[in-house]
Every structure is written in C-alpha cells, then in structure tokens.
Amino acid sequence: MTWTAKRIKSRYVNPKILPHTMSNALVKRSIVECVKKYQSRLTGRLLDVGCGFSPYKSLLKAIDNYTGLDIKGNHYIIAEEEKDKDKVFFDGKTIPFEPQQFDSILCTEVLEHVFEPQDFINEIYRVLKGDGCVLLTTPFLWPLHDEPYDFYRYTRYALKELFEHAGFSEITILVRGGWYTNFSLMLGGCFTRCFPKYKYLRYMLMLLGYPLVYVTQIILPKFDRHLESETLPVGYTVFAKKPQYSSK
C-alpha cells in the first residue's frame, strides 16, 4: 500500500498557532453537529484518523475504546500530546494495524490533505471490521491551508466513487452549509485578511465589522436548512458501512 498523506490532522485550530476566527468556529460547529448526529452509531473500538488534539473525543458516548492516529512529527501536536497513550503515530503510508481491528472510524477534515485518496479510503476499509461504520468529513469551499499539503476538493459524486470502489455500502453523503453559510464565511474572511499592508486600518475594520459578521454567521446559515443549497456546500459528511461479509 503506497498512499501518501503528507499531513493528517484534525481541523481543530490551535489558537497558539493560528488566529482563531468566527469562521473556523462556524465550520467546527457544523462538524460537531455531524458527530453528534452519528455518535450513537460509532460504537466499540474507534480509530480517529488524523486526530490532532482529539477535539471530538468527548462527543463519542457509545464507544468502548478510543485510539487516535496521526502523522509523527505533526507540529500541531505538542510533545506532551505525543506521550498520550490514546494516540498512535505513523509514517503516513500504511495504517499500523492488522485488518478488521476497529468497530468504528472517525476522520474529520483530513481527506483534502491526502495525495492518493483511494488508497487512503482502502486503508480505512482494511482496518474496519465487517459491519463497522466510518464517519468522514471534508471541506468543499474553503481557503488553501497547510500549504503545500492541500491537494483536493471533492464533490459528492467523487466521494461516492471513492467509497464504493473501496467496497463500502449504505453510503450516505450529507451537505454541510450552503450559499448563505459560505457568504457569511467569506464576509468574515474579508475582514480578517483585507489591507494586509496596513495593520492598524485592518484592525479598525475588524473592530467595526465583526459585529456584522457575528450576526450574519448566526442568522444566514439558518436559511441553508430550508432552501436548496447543495450546489455550493461548505463541506460534506460521509457515513458508510463495511459489509458484514467482505471479500476484501
């Protein structure tokens, strides 16, 4: 198996490393909602692929055992975190477990950083038990990040092909956010990134504009829940099962 993941990590933003913005919080909230929606179906022994700081571990109420997996040397995880007994570190090529070891797999905002996505999904399938479940999220409309290790954005059709080709069944793909959510995110991004050469002017605009951004990021996403917004999602959530009796 030769899939290459230059960096696997959670999209949790460490405020000591990156500016924590309302936009990040809005996207993280959408992921939290997805994990809560499926947490009762994530059971038994769970592997969190690209776990980072394990921001969603506390939401997993139905599991018996938690194992985090991340790239060794990931600078988003401080040295103390690398001593965590719940975490396993690897070289980013082959998940270091025997086949059919986990009942559930969680993978949040990682797939866009994987250069060979089919091999990556195949590896998830390999270590998952028959009748096991995987919950995966990935962004669609989101700025480049962790460059140069930001490789892809996926449509729901590409995700369906990847999971079907790996052998998964009962594949459900949900949209996270839409046109209105994206507008509020773009508005927030403009205030945090405009006038990069004029620091004090940027700070003044941020001070004046953030109340507006705060209100739009509360109100506008609600419209996406009632209107057809699937043509421009913020991201996707995939929930799939491995057949109980698999030939792979």
Which domains are assigned to the chain? 1-177+234-248 (3.40.50.150), 179-232 (no CATH)
Better-predicted residue by pLDDT, 78 or 114: 114
pLDDT tens sequence across 89-111? 888 779 999 999 999 999 999 99
Q: Choose among 240, 245, 247: nearest CA to 38.
A: 240
Which pLDDT score, from 0 to 100, does residue 75 have? Answer: 55
Better-predicted residue by pLDDT, 134 or 178: 134
Strand, helix or coil for residue 85: coil
Confidence label for 145 from pLDDT (cuts 50, 70 and 90): confident
pTM of the model: 0.81
Q: What angle do CA 63, 100, 241 make, to 5 degrees?
A: 65
Mean pLDDT is lowest, of 20-29, 100-109, 139-148, 151-160, for 20-29
Which pLDDT score, from 0 to 100, does residue 18 have? Answer: 30
pLDDT tens sequence across 167-196? 999 999 999 988 888 888 887 777 666 666
Better-predicted residue by pLDDT, 132 or 186: 132
Which pLDDT score, from 0 to 100, does residue 84 have? Answer: 64
pLDDT tens sequence across 39-87? 999 999 999 999 988 999 999 999 999 999 998 766 556 545 555 677 8
Is pLDDT of 227 > 80? no
**What whole-number distance in Å separates Cα of residue 53 and Cα of residue 9?**
8
- The pLDDT > 70 percentage for the chain reads 78
8-state DSSP, 70: E
| Those residues with Cβ within 8 angstroms of residue 238's Cβ, 6 or more apart along the chain or in another chain | 134, 135, 136, 137, 138, 159, 163, 171, 172, 173, 174
Which pLDDT score, from 0 to 100, does residue 118 have? Answer: 97
Confidence label for 13 from pLDDT (cuts 50, 70 and 90): very low
Which pLDDT score, from 0 to 100, does residue 159 have? Answer: 98
Residue with tokens 């046109």: 179
| Those residues with Cβ within 8 angstroms of residue 157's Cβ, 6 or more apart along the chain or in another chain | none
Strand order in the sheet with 63-71: 87-90, 63-71, 44-49, 102-108, 128-139, 235-241, 169-176
